[in-house]
A and B are shown apart, each in its own frame.
Chain A
């Protein structure tokens, strides 16, 4: 049994954050924080330790999710996964994020993505297949290929 993941949620929609938290916990992981804005997310990233940050592009202070990803990426403390209904807003280099879960995701799509990410973090390369709706950044895909 691999160790559960610590997850930071950066999402301005309370309903979606709430449900995401339940799903993460149902999958046996823990949520270490929920931020609704870029500034909150950055403060939180400085104070808590997380394995994964799920970052929405559109936050309460504007389309600042890319900013948050870059900030967390520079600290190199957590893997960033975008979670957005607007994947076209993600820059080609993914701003340091490892991938994107496109909204709307299905419940199973999210569970499979969590399983896949857990494998990526705890014992790469992952053995399960990458779920539909989950896209890897070009850089991270290369990293996985060379780890295989």
Chain B
């Protein structure tokens, strides 16, 4: 910067304290600048090291120095150890280039205390475009800075807290998932063991009636097994597709009976029920289908044992309907295990708030079960 330039600026003395105070005091603009609450100074870049040539009272009050302690000095005495060097650089570059600059900078008072200074510096040129002075105003923005800092700190703290909480929840979810898989694994293994025990025991028994009874028990356990196998296959462990289950069950029971002359007729709409209803619904369907298999196709006058077992599932409204039908010999008087099966069906129907109806389908039997399906009513289908 060429501070050795022209010194004959006409109005420089108007604003200087030390040289032309009397004239300055007579100038209303100078008087205003002296008295304003806004801290202001003027420096002279034409003198060595760009010293302060004017400072108003607000400036002195802001920094805590006496006038004679600041006059003739470069402003850098306001900087301190925590002043950002890059801010100092920006000011230096602006002064060298003779451009204006607006910056928040940390300054030090005489007593060593600090304040945030919203500094604005602008060059003053004469008519010839020569740089005469720098005019600088200071505003203490420590409060604004503090609250901005506090907001930033709060934000950081909140973000950290949210991150920590999220990590905790994720860990908890993972632990829960692991636990669920572990329990699921054990339930399935135990169901497998229960059926294995029944099969083993059945092998040792000669009496046909007892064997048949164990077979019925095995079928019921296996219906539960099929439910559990299906239950955790899907991603959503709280829902259960009854139609898929029914298909598995009927295919399995028919194949197990070894009676190729009986044909399945399935009309299954996909129906989702809450998981807690899966077991009672499954047991009920199992009873109806095994019943039909055992009783519907024997004792025909012509000696044939073939036929059709039908399962229909649909949900025309908020109700879910299951229909199990056969074209066999018609309803039998329930005795022995069949009467236990009947009680089982009726109790499960009560648990499910289901209406159950036996109809003579001539030929054969049709059982219709109808129950409310809240899953649908709540509109929580996804």
Q: Which residues from chain A sit less than 8 Å from chain B, CB to CB?
A: 13, 15-16, 18-19, 22-23, 58, 85-88, 102-109, 112, 131-133
Contacts and interface: CB of A to CB of B under 8 A. Distances in A.
A132 B199 contact: no
Of A18, A103, A112, chain B has the most CB atoms within 10 Å of the CB of A103
A58 B222 contact: no
A104 B188 contact: yes
A103 B186 CA distance: 10
B247 A85 contact: no
Given A13-B189, A58-B185, A85-B185, A132 B196 contact: no
Interface stretch (B55-63, B248-256, B310-318): B248-256
Contacts of A106: 195, 222, 225-226, 252, 256
Q: Mostly helix, strand, loop or mixed at chain B's interface?
A: helix
Contact of A104 (B195, B252, B255): B195
B181 A104 contact: no
Contacts of A85: 184-186, 188-189, 192
Interface of B: 181, 184-186, 188-189, 191-193, 195-197, 199-200, 203, 218, 222, 225-226, 228-229, 233, 247-248, 251-253, 255-256
A22 B203 contact: yes
Nearest to A89: B181
A103 B105 CA distance: 72
Residue of A58, A86, A106, A133 ringed by the most chain B CB atoms within 10 A:
A106
A42 B314 CA distance: 50
Contacts of B229: 102-105, 133
Contact of B195 (A13, A107, A131, A132): A107
Contacts of B181: 86, 88
Nearest to B223: A106
26 contacts: A13-B193, A15-B196, A16-B192, A18-B200, A19-B200, A85-B184, A85-B185, A85-B189, A86-B184, A86-B188, A88-B181, A102-B229, A103-B188, A103-B189, A103-B192, A103-B229, A104-B195, A104-B229, A106-B222, A106-B256, A107-B218, A107-B222, A108-B253, A131-B251, A131-B252, A132-B248
Contacts of A107: 195, 199, 218, 222, 256
B250 to A, nearest CB: 10
A14 B328 CA distance: 43
A112 B255 CA distance: 8
A132 to B, nearest CB: 4
B34 to A, nearest CB: 82
Contacts of A112: 255
A109 B200 contact: no
Contacts of A104: 188-189, 191-192, 195, 222, 225, 228-229
Contacts of B218: 107
Tell me which of B184, B192, B226 has the highest count of chain A C-beta atoms within 10 A of its own C-beta. Answer: B192
Nearest 6 Cβ contacts at the A-B interface: A85-B188, A108-B256, A104-B225, A19-B196, A132-B248, A104-B192
Contacts of A108: 252-253, 255-256
Nearest to B192: A104
A72 B228 CA distance: 30
A104 to B, nearest CB: 4
A109 B218 CA distance: 13
Nearest to B198: A107
Contact of A105 (B184, B192, B255): B192
B100 to A, nearest CB: 65
Given A23-B199, A107-B222, 7 more contacts: A16-B193, A102-B229, A106-B195, A132-B248, A132-B251, A133-B229, A133-B248
A75 B213 CA distance: 46
A132 B253 CA distance: 11
Contacts of A23: 199
A133 B189 CA distance: 15
B255 to A, nearest CB: 5
Nearest to A129: B251
Nearest to B244: A132
B256 to A, nearest CB: 4
Contacts of B196: 15-16, 18-19
Contacts of B185: 58, 85-86
Contacts of B222: 104, 106-107
